[in-house]
């Protein structure tokens, strides 16, 4: 249905990944990213900008993707476009089953690392996988 959208504009392949936790042979948690789904989307660039994070100037790229409906995508996921190696972190998801459309807002930062830990911090803003997590979003050493 896609509510008047031109399906031919959905020409960017997105590989959406989710964080998975497993245990190694000595029962330690190992965090890694696994492919959740692949889908095509229409890319719309928003104005980016610079901001300071931890006394470091950071460049932001903001983008919106219009995709076919998928109600399982969350802000705890990330994606990359086609064969690019840098990731966008999902900041907002709006889905309408009636219109058959999912709108994904995401951002890419120039200071992001490729490690699982730094990617997790970017997507959640918290050290959730190390130490104790409190629902009030306060860090507590265990």
pLDDT at 63 over 80: yes
pLDDT at position 93 is: 93
Q: What is the pLDDT of residue 36?
A: 94
Is residue 101 within 8 A of residue 2, CB to CB? The reply is yes
Taking only the tens place, the pLDDT of each residue in 76-113 is 999 998 888 888 889 999 988 888 889 999 988 776 65
In terms of Cα–Cα distance, which of 142, 138, 112, 119 is closest to 130?
A: 142
Q: What are the backbone dihedrals phi and psi of residue 131, each rounded to the nearest 5 degrees, phi first?
A: 85, -160
Q: Is the pLDDT of residue 68 over 80?
A: yes
Domain boundaries, the chain: 2-140
Fold of 2-140: Thrombin, subunit H (2.40.10)
pLDDT at 51: 65
At residue 14 the predicted structure's pLDDT band, cuts being 50, 70 and 90, is very high
Contact 93, 102 (CB under 8 A): yes
pLDDT of residue 113: 55
For the cut 90, the answer to whether the pLDDT of residue 35 exceeds it is yes
Output the pTM of the full model: 0.65
- Give 130-140 pLDDT, tens digit per residue: 444 444 444 45
């Amino acid at each position: 249905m896609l509510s008047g959208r031109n399906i031919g504009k959905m020409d960017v392949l997105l590989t959406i990944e989710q964080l998975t936790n497993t245990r190694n042979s000595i029962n330690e948690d190992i965090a890694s990213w696994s492919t959740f789904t692949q889908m095509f989307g229409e890319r719309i660039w928003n104005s980016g900008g610079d901001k300071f994070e931890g006394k470091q100037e950071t460049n932001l790229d903001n983008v919106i993707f219009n995709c076919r409906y998928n109600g399982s995508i969350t802000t705890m996921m990330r994606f990359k476009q086609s064969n690019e190696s840098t990731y966008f972190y999902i900041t907002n998801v709006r889905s309408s089953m009636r219109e058959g459309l999912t709108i994904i807002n995401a951002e890419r930062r120039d200071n992001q690392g490729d490690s699982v830990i730094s990617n997790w911090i970017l997507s959640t803003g918290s050290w959730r996988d190390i130490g104790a997590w409190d629902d009030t979003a306060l860090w507590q050493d265990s």
